[in-house]
Amino acid sequence: MIDQRNINKGIDKIFWIILILYSDPGGIQTALNVNEIGFQVNLNDILFVILSICYFFIPKKDYLNDRDFKRIRYAMLIFLFYFFVIYGYLTPVLKSAEGYSFVFAIIKMRYALYCVQICLYIYVFFQRSASTFVKYYFISSVLILTIFLQSLFTGIEVLPIKIMSRGFIDVDRNLMLNYGLMPFLIPIGISFFVFRIKTRYRYYIIIGFSLMFTAWLVSLTRRHIFGTLIYLIIAVVLNNYFVRGSLNQIFRLTIRITTIIIILLMALRMTFPEYLVAGKDTIRETIYVLKYGETTTGEIDERLKFTRPFIVELIIKNPVLGTGFDNRWKNEEGDLEGYEASDYPFLGALAMFGILGILSFLPVYIMVIKILRKDIELLRRLTLKTSGVYFLILYTGIIFFIFDLMKYMHYFSPISLSGATQFPWYAYLGLYMGARKVFRINLTNSLYPAHLNSP
């Protein structure tokens, strides 16, 4: 007799393994030479089909009765309508875009549909098997980050590495082709430390956080190095808001985090001393840019001031509907011409989609803001014993999306960079919404020991 529970566990395992492979952590698809299959089909097309089959074969009724997620889902579907019908077809046709092909446009735009659908899949599967996801996620992330960092020691390149010049320092940047979902290790680690979440995966969290932060340092990416500090500040402020912490509690938390950072920096000094110095210079340069709006060499950072002339000119010429689909926004040749959506996400979104397109996605942001506010106010009114992966992802989702909303220069990047590069944003949203759904159900069923704090 077939055991349905074993079948369900098998489906869950397949789903999470395929999802991690879909995110292409470390550029593993390139390393295995399996990303391009041919006939405009790549591996992720096949993986999306497998994920969809997994979703099709599970019961979904009990997982979808969430009004907040339904509203986000509807808002995303409205945007998809605009994306394919207005942006992908009507606008290029009305503008008589040179060399436009609707079939080619649909092929290039399919990843936006994948992102929205997989967000739904993750939301459902996380409610079913959060521990399975966390287990495979931590193991794969630690393994891939270890393989990546060892190549800097030995020179043995197992996974592809992209080496670039940083510009203002004489140390090369070492980057993965794709980080997949691994950057989520940073806010996960911050949540674990600050909110003191009890979980059996604590060693994976500490190791994963340390490796990911080291990967950011050797990449010399200013926004990620500085972003780690911002995540920490957000979490500390929230924790104090939730528990009304005393100065003594804040002091103990500061000592704990400082000790971990010192140990990490000492290890980094022994392994990659040049990158520790370069990291300091990178942070100093970032602070200077934020303070004066230009680099130490006098160059204007147009990403912060929305002054990229080429893109601004496109916005002025196409204020309502934008340029519509234009493949130059997605390829290196377009970057050379000035279609640099990856460096200027907000400007790129406004130029590509126009005011009407921006408004079609705005309800998603509005819903995220409302959900964050509701969760923060609820957590403040409760005293909870924070343990388990649902709490871990709930708090992580909160600090991630607060920081995401603070990065004004990256507004609407989920649509201007829709595709493989923005898949993690939709994945994190699915994880966060799934975690808060389980949290609220367990709270209603009194599975969490909690009592209301005085208002």
Give domain limits for the chain.
Answer: 4-452
Contact 364, 418 (CB under 8 A): no
Q: Cβ–Cβ contacts within 10 Å for residue 170, how many?
A: 10
Q: How far apart are CA 341 and CA 280, in angstroms?
A: 28
Specify whether the CB–CB gap between 230 and 403 falls below 8 A. yes
How many Cα atoms within 13 Å fall on the side-chain side of residue 375? Answer: 26
Q: For residues 22 and 139, is the Cβ–Cβ distance under 8 A?
A: no
- 455 residues of the chain, pLDDT tens digit each: 456 777 888 899 999 999 999 999 988 887 777 777 767 788 889 999 999 999 999 887 778 888 999 999 999 999 999 999 999 999 999 888 888 888 888 988 899 999 999 999 999 999 999 999 999 999 999 999 999 988 887 878 888 888 776 555 556 778 888 899 999 999 999 999 888 888 999 999 999 999 998 898 888 777 788 888 889 889 988 888 887 655 566 666 667 666 766 766 666 566 666 655 655 666 666 666 555 555 565 555 555 566 678 888 889 999 999 998 888 887 777 777 878 777 788 888 899 999 999 999 999 999 999 999 999 988 888 766 677 899 899 999 999 999 999 887 788 888 877 665 688 999 999 999 999 999 888 887 765 555 444 33
E strand residue ranges, 287-352:
none
User: Is residue 98 classed as helix, strand or coil in its secondary structure?
Assistant: coil
The pLDDT value given to residue 166: 59
User: So what's the pLDDT on residue 306?
Assistant: 62
- What is the Cα–Cα distance from 85 to 121, expressed in whole angstroms? 24
Its pTM stands at: 0.87
Burial of 41 (0-12, 13-18, 19+ CB in 10 A): exposed
CB burial of 126-145 (b: ≥16 within 10 Å; e: otherwise) equals bbbbbebbbbbbbebbbebb
C-alpha span between 130 and 12 (Å, rounded) = 9
